[in-house]
Amino acid sequence: MAKTREQKQADVAALSEAFSSSKIAVMTDYRGLNVPAINDLRNQLRDAEVSYKVAKNTLVKVAIKDTELKDADTSIFTGPMAIAFGQDEAQTCKIIADFAKANENLEIIGAIDESGKTLSREDVMALAKLPSREVLTAQVVGTIAAPLSGFVRVLNGNITQLLYALNAIQDKKGEA
């Protein structure tokens, strides 16, 4: 049954909101996936707070024009497509890429980031290889803290050596 104009406008509004509120939108071709596989993918994405929507390409193009992403390249919107909208770029791409490796019927088409830049399939795969935001933050903090902890060890080393020297002097005076 064909959708009414009001239903299409509601779909466009929902898609516009999804594009505006997400940091990345990963486009996939889901042809050949059965319902249990799609539900499994949706569950994995839902656990990461990523929404996955099937949308008509013409409605997606209209929705993008209604957002700040209006300059994004919409030529990647071909064929049946589902879009994963996420807040963590690396995590969203990783879930999609891992699922695509396990299910050859899911094909990654590309992505659009929050600045409107269109990413190729290879770019999405490269993002999938990045560690999560939390891991990157921990690595940066560790890198910043490493010189400080080394400095503390050096300062403690001098104090420790002074204590050893004082103890040695005390032991010599105690023996004499």
* pLDDT band at residue 84 under the 50/70/90 scheme: very high
- Tell me the three-class secondary structure of 82-137, residue by residue: EEEEECCHHHHHHHHHHHHHHCCCCEEEEEEECCCCEECHHHHHHHHHCCCHHHHH
Q: Give the CA dihedral 71, 51, 100, 88, nearest 10 degrees.
A: 70
pLDDT of residue 176: 62
* pLDDT band at residue 1 under the 50/70/90 scheme: low
State pLDDT tens for residues 20-77: 888 999 999 988 888 999 999 999 999 989 999 988 888 888 888 877 877 777 777 7
Rg (CA), the chain: 27
